[in-house]
Amino acid sequence: MNGLLKATLLFLAGVLVGANVVFFLMRDGGPGATRTLDSGGAPATAAATDDATAPRPAPLPATVAPEPDMQPVAPTPARSTPPAPPTDALLIPVRGIRAPELQDTFDDLRGGGSRAHEALDIMAERGTPVLAATDGRIEKLFDSDAGGHTIYQFDRDRTHAYYYAHLDRYAPGLQAGKEVEQGEVIGYVGSTGNASDDAPHLHFAIFELGPRKNWWEGTAIDPFPLLTGTQSSAD
């Protein structure tokens, strides 16, 4: 009887131990399981795999240089100055004046510092002939309080206007609509308008004309660098 009881107790003890082992294995995933954290931080079970056969994560892509047609196109820089007429197309518009005698007065202030000059003052004796700086057409003869006797000339292409101011008088027969050639006398140096009587000169300006081709409006171009490399009008 005692032997049967001992055998029964050992059997029950084995059953309990085996149940505990099975429970432990089921709870922890077994000897081949690995433990990870899910997105919420709670333990999660993942099946173990052989390192040699486990799929490797795809490497992060390297930065790919764009194809030639993917390169960004640099913006066209803003044009700081309008296109000027060719240097060799212009003549110094006062007879006898050579390039070394010119002084750049384009950025000088006028009107008590309220406005930029945007022109070239060419000093010369009163009555010195004023010449057409290029071939073109006389667009307007105009008298103003500031400019005195003035001439507006367009070039052949009607892309630029040439402004001659403070004239003492116009050349005989000059009128709007007249075609003139480079070097032709169109007026004479003076001091009309707001110029000083003791400093006669030609106020000479160049403008790029707008699409409407109005003689009174345009974008100013500095004449100095254009005239300092030109042929002399002294010959």
Has residue 115 got a pLDDT over 60?
yes
Kindly report the number of other CB atoms within 10 A of residue 12's CB atom.
Answer: 10
Under DSSP, is residue 44 helix (H, G, I), strand (E, B) or coil? strand
Residue type, 4: L
Query: Among 73-77, 117-121, 146-150, whose mean pLDDT is lowest?
Result: 73-77
β-partners of residue 121 are 203
Query: For position 89, what pLDDT does the model report?
Result: 76
pLDDT at 93: 97
Instruction: Determine the number of helices (DSSP H) and then strands (DSSP E) in the chain.
Output: 2, 13
Segment 140-148 shows an average pLDDT of 95
Non-local CB neighbours of 219 within 8 Å, separated by 6+ positions: 82, 207, 208, 210
Cβ proximity of 226 and 180 under 8 Å: no
pLDDT at 165: 96
| pLDDT, tens digit (0-9, with 9 covering 90-100), for 60-84 | 444 434 433 333 333 333 444 556 6
Out of 49-53, 141-145, 162-166, pick the least confident.
49-53
> Distance between CA atoms of 64 and 2, rounded to whole angstroms?
83
Q: Nearest-CA neighbor of 94 among 1, 187, 229? A: 187
Cα–Cα dist 128/201, whole Å: 9
CB 182 within 8 A of CB 135: yes
CA dist., res. 188 & res. 205, Å (int): 16
Share above pLDDT 90 across residues of the chain, in percent, rounded to a whole number: 50
Cβ–Cβ under 8 Å, residues 90 and 232: no
At 80-114, the pLDDT tens digits run 455 666 555 799 999 999 999 999 988 777 656 55
The answer to whether 200 and 189 have CB atoms below 8 angstroms apart is yes
pLDDT of residue 26: 52
> Residue 17's pLDDT is what?
58
Identify which of 2-16, 70-84, 169-183 has the greatest average pLDDT: 169-183
Is pLDDT above 90 for 166? yes
Which has more pLDDT, 153 or 105?
153
Q: Average pLDDT for residues 154-166, to the nearest whole number?
A: 96
> How confident is the model at residue 83, as a pLDDT?
64
Which pLDDT value is given to residue 185? Answer: 98
CB-CB contact of 110 with 117 (8 Å) = yes
Per the model's pLDDT, the better-predicted residue between 70 and 152 turns out to be 152
| pTM for this entry | 0.61
Nearest to 126 by CA among 186, 183, 165, 168: 168
Domains and CATH numbers, the chain: 90-227 (2.70.70.10)
For residue 39, what pLDDT is reported? 37
DSSP 101: G
| DSSP, residue by residue, 159-213 | SEEEEEEEEEEEPTT--TT-EE-TT-EEEEEB--TTS-TTS-EEEEEEEE--TT-
- Alpha-carbon Rg for the chain, nearest whole angstrom, is 47
Give me the mean pLDDT over the 106-135 stretch: 85
What's the CA gap between 72 and 142, in Å, rounded?
Answer: 51
